[in-house]
Every structure is written in C-alpha cells, then in structure tokens.
Amino acid sequence: MHGVNERFDFRAEVPELTDLGRVHFIAIGGAGMSAVARIMLARGVTVTGSDAKDSPMLRALEREGATTWVGHNPSHVDGADTVVISSAIRESNVELIRARELGLPVLHRAQALASTMTGAVAAAVAGANGKTTTTSMLTVALQAAGLDPSFASGGELADQGTNARWCAGAPFVVEADESDGSFLVYRPAVAVVTNVQPDHLDFYGTFEGVQTAYAEFVASMPRGGLLVACRDDDGSSVLAQDAAASGVRVLTYGFAEDADLRVHSVKSTGLGSTARFVDQDGVERTLHLAVPGRHNVLNAMGAYLAAVAGLGAESAAVLKGLAHFGGARRRFEVRGEVGGVTVVDDYAHNPGKVAAVVATAAEIAHARGGHLRVIFQPHLYSRTNDFATDFARALAAADDVVLLEIYGAREEPVPGVGSHLVADALLIEIGGTGGKLPLGAHGVTSSVPVLDRGEAVAALVTAARPGDLLMTIGAGDVTELADALTEGLRQR
C-alpha cells in the first residue's frame, strides 16, 4: 500500500533505551545509521555493527567504542539483543535473516533514535530540500546561544567533524526523513518544514500521499508545539494554513509579504551572503552567512525561528552562530581550488535541490567571470523515471553538463530507464532556450554525453578555465570524483 511502511509501525510507542540491551546495526556506516549509533554509544549502550565496505566512518565509530565488521555474516548478530536497520536493508540480508530466526526485536533507525530522545525537548526538521542544512544550522545556532543541544543529522557539520552528539538535559535536534514515513516517530515540540514537494513517489505513489504524510507529521506534535514553515513553498504554505486552522501554533518565513518572518533583501558576498529581514516580532535584523544562495538564507530563517521562537534562544546569539556556520558535508562543500578553478561537491538529488544548487553555483561562477561545469549522477531509477524532465530544467542553468549513469542504491535496474532520459530532456531544454549545448556536444552532435567516471573527470578538467566552478552533484558515489577533479587540475 502506498504511503504505508509495512515493516514498521511509526505511530507506535518506541521502546525504552534501557530495554534495548546490546544493539547491532546492519549497515552501520551510513549517514543516518552512524548518527544513531553515536548517540547510543554516548548514552552507554553496547553497540556492534557491520557494513558492506570499510570506511573512515567505521574507524571513527570504533574509536568511539563500537565493535564493527566489514561484510555481512549471520554470526555478527549472535549476542545482540536488538537489531537496527534502515528501509534500505532487504529481508534477504543474511544478518536480518538471522535476527528474525532468533526472534530479536528489529527497529528502524528512526525508532532507535527516538528511543534515545525520551524526555528531551525535540526539534525536528523535515522537507524535501534543505533539511540537512537547516538541521545543522539550528544545531550551530543553539550551540552559540549556550543551549548545547543533542543532535542527529544526515550530514556531518563541517567544522565539528561529526553528525551526532548527545548532551544530557538539552534540546534534541533531529533531521526527520520523510522518504519512508519514519518522520512520524519523533513527535517534536518544534517542527520545521522547509518545503513539501513531490518526491519519493516510489513510496507515496502520488503528491497527495506526500501531503497526507506531512499532515500526519504535524498532527503527531504534542499540544502547544510550534510549526515553523516556509511561506514561499506552496506545499508547506498549505500545510501551515491547515495546521493553524486546526489550532497548531504556526510561524512562517520567506520572501513573501505575508510571512511572519519576512526577508526583504539578499546580497551575494563571494561564497557567502548577507540578508536583511524583519523577524516575527517586527524587528529588522541582518543575517550574515558563509554559505551561498537564497535557499540557504531560507534555511537559516527556518533555523532562526525554531531556535528563537521555539526553543527560547537569544536572537543576537543565534545570528552570531549562523554567521559562523561552516556548512555541512556534501552541501555546497568546497573540495579544492587550483589555478582559479573551484571544485564543489553537493548531495542534491531531487529536482528542487538540483535547481537551487545549480542556480546558486551559476550565479557565483558568472560573477567571477567563469562557467559552471557539472557532473550529475541521477539517484534511483524510480526518481529518474518520474522526474527526468524536471532534472533537465534544473540542470539547464549550468554552462556545461555531463551525466553519469544512475546510482541505483536500494533499487534494481529498470529496463529502459537510464541517464539518457535526463540527457534527452536536457538537450531539448537547452535547445529550446537557445543556450549552449552541454560539454562534449561541441555544438553539433545530437545528444548529451553520458560518460563513465574517468571520461567525466577528464572532460571537465580539460574544459576548466580560471573563474570556473566544477561541481559534482548527486547522492551516490559521484562525490568521489570531486577529489579526482582537484587532482586532475593539479596535474594539468
């Protein structure tokens, strides 16, 4: 059934942390799973975990007290009292089969995280786009205001080198993932919704299914909670109106004239930005950010309202914290600079995210007299099939684009679905606007290139000129090519 996770009941009460015993994580090295493991380790839980391949994350978790293995083996589950998985773990996984045979409780990672949050004032950040950055901004803002929050995010805070931390008696900031319905488990006192857009249609089926899930997310908040929603996004604006009509306390933010917190000017400052806004109390204030783009200004405004109006932080301290926010890993992360060419990596993987980051990067590149040249790796066959044209529109602002084949992640290949769907749509989009053909087309060929990894790196390195931004974009292993681009530029 669409929109219903048949493996987990996210509306049910979560178990007490003290009842979990020894906890084993299958695929512990992932961004979401490792954050939960770190919180449990900090709270004194015995943690083991396995992952398909070795990684710096596994080594970091070992230093923090976990026992980890590379590769999956049923014996890894022996001695565990509880097993934690994500929706990506299939029932055919040998460790999960063993857990089922032993009759062990199997928790979704969101349920496991919620068990660590009992008693804390929870602030959850949800949305199709911007939730990792907004979660990170809210965390840094609260730290600057002296509230020292616990947090669990899908990306590492660049300046702190971690995606999770436990602090007893403090607010708990969590990134709430809507992709599988698991965000219903948190029941936050403060909820931020950055946007409500059609995504994860493999799970929800329709946009209406997505909207229903967000309404349930808001309904899960305790009485007296605060919903912070972006007024500029149609989906979150409708959600806010419905929530207010049902008696929920709501504050909105955005560039819209009727937003409770209204941004009225934004100025780019290199790879940063400065904005002027009138806050929910009618006070005009200035926001300085070290990260670029109108979308990041909006993310910061959501974090500001959650911190100040939701959690009682002092405004000036919050703004100071936001000014020092150094970004989150894989969110417009500068990975190198060689000969006036800057290499940036970004996790954007749905059309809204890709559009925002490409538009911002193009503006920066053009302001410095350069071009934006992109390697994009579509993520998931279902998403690519649903949104190929939307991806093309999002990428069209770049000067040059090459594509990698789809990163399937949890999905098996689908006949007829490949990156050529985006390539064909992009050629039409660019041709229809009179823009340049993408890199490799040389103005004469009839297709956008879908290249292998080595070809893609070589193409961008060869084309790069001082002032350019070279970007790797996608949620898969395209991130590894950012370092290859930097090294290629050095060798050139």
Residue 475 φ/ψ, nearest 5 degrees:
-90, 0
Q: Which helix (H) or strand (E) holds 262?
A: strand 261-269
Handedness of CA 142, 232, 352, 207 (dihedral sign): positive
Largest Cα–Cα distance of the chain, in whole Å? 66
Rounded Cα distance between 77 and 87, Å, is 18
Q: CB under 8 Å to 433, separation ≥6 — which residues?
A: 396
Q: Which residues have CB under 8 Å from 249's CB, separation 6+?
A: 224, 225, 226, 227
Helix or strand or coil: residue 18? helix
- Alpha-carbon distance 47 to 24, whole Å? 6
For residue 478, what are its two tokens? 């395209």
Helix (H, G, I), strand (E, B) or coil at 40: helix
Question: Left if phi > 0, otherwise alpha if psi is -120 to 50, otherwise beta: which for 32?
Answer: alpha
Radius of gyration of the chain (CA): 22
Which stretches of 191-327 are DSSP H helices?
201-204, 207-219, 234-245, 294-305, 315-323
Please say whether the beta carbons of 430 and 484 come within 8 A: no
β-strand pairing of 23-26 with 82-85? parallel
> What angle, rounded to 10 degrees, do the helices at 453-463 and 480-491 form?
50
CB-count exposure of residue 11 (10 Å: 0-12, 13-18, 19+)? exposed
For residue 275, the cross-strand partners are 266, 287
Distance of alpha carbon 148 from alpha carbon 353, whole angstroms: 29
Active-site residue set: 131-132, 175
